[in-house]
Amino acid sequence: MKHYTATYWAFFKTSLLEQFQYRAAMAIWMISRILEPIIYLTVWTTVAQARGGSVGSYSPADFAAYYIVLMLVNQFTFSWVMHIYDFRIRQGELSNFLLKPIHPIHADIAENIAYKVLTAIIIFPTALLLFFLFDPNLAFHIQTFAVFLLALGIAFLMRFFIEWTLALVAFWTTRNEAINQMYFTLGLFLSGRIAPIDLLPGAIQTLADALPFRWAVAFPVELMLGRLSQEQILNGFTMQAVWLLAGFLLIQLTWRLGVKKYSAVGS
């Protein structure tokens, strides 16, 4: 355990220094991640006002709370590794990772955490500003917040494992951006980013319950907002555990098979 702590700390410091080299790109990425929930919040608030003050069980203040929390959850659970792995494989950069005495996923996790620590100086003030602008229906309870943090931590690992597995498809396809876009589109609908899950048609809700997207994003949001019963919370943690284990096992299998197939371009 001490070895892994030292390793992660070294990766973390290196990643922070690398992030500072791409300040302009980081700013552009952050703008896009902030604009998305603001756009959906504005649209749903307008719809609620036009329909007499609510859509389903959501008032404009409820939508404000939902999308502010969703912005934070999505920021702290997303990863970009599935967009870069095909490049690593095509260019032979993966060979450098294979020479190191530690699994490459650890460097990617540390890099992801470093990025989120760095961008926290932007995302938290933005959330605070939105809180004052939109007056969300959001109450803070220490017990709910503690359970929310647990769900958020599991969601991060679950989502990272699944998307890292998806990245490894590049061992067989060389370019997997089309697969990434399909995954992104499904996630946009089924994670609750376009609309809260309980406002979607019944068939889509059933699909969202079966796939991991909801449990990686919408579940922590709904939990923080106090919109779930004890039974729903227990079911949510159960589904998170199932998909976390599935992601972990898929990584083991896909990595082992992929490395056997791997050969750098030009070797």
- What pLDDT was estimated at residue 4? 67
Q: How far is CA 4 from CA 8, 107, 177, in A?
A: 6, 11, 32
- What pLDDT was estimated at residue 267? 46
Q: How many CB atoms lie within 10 A of CB 234?
A: 11
**Alpha carbons 201 and 235: distance in angstroms, whole number:** 20
- What pLDDT was estimated at residue 118? 83
Q: Using DSSP, how many helices (H) and how many strands (E) does the chain show?
A: 13, 0
Q: What is the pTM of this model?
A: 0.90
Helix, strand, coil: what percent of the chain each, to 5? 80, 0, 20
Q: Which residues of the chain have pLDDT under 70?
A: 1-4, 20-25, 263-267
- What pLDDT was estimated at residue 264? 47
Residue burial 162-197, b: 16+ Cβ < 10 Å; e: rest = bbbbbbbbbbeeeebeebbeebeeebebbbbbebbb
